[in-house]
Structure 1
């Protein structure tokens, strides 16, 4: 996650603002495996990291 964020040229604070995470330390928790991205926010995170968002199978 950290490499993806840095590849986009984002600081933890900038990433936090993009994904609406509240406090930037949450980004650090995600990057170190001590936190999880809320499922309802996965698309926002994917877009912020420049990744395609997967669609649900029908």
Structure 2
């Protein structure tokens, strides 16, 4: 299994503002900009931090 299995976020839009999220690892949530090269840095969050982030409005 790859370290991260990225999927386009439902918050991404058709104008090229694309965020990809990987939630296949129970210990870390990974977030990246789809326009960056595959070897670009990835934002890694704990599941607790991810829940707080997605709950914030």
Band of TM-score, shorter chain:
under 0.3
Q: Which has the higher strand share?
A: 2
Q: Normalised by the size of structure 1, how large is the TM-score?
A: 0.23
Q: Normalised by the size of structure 2, how large is the TM-score?
A: 0.23
Q: Does 1 or 2 have the higher relative contact order (CA < 8 Å, sep 6+)?
A: 1
Q: Which has the higher helix share?
A: 1
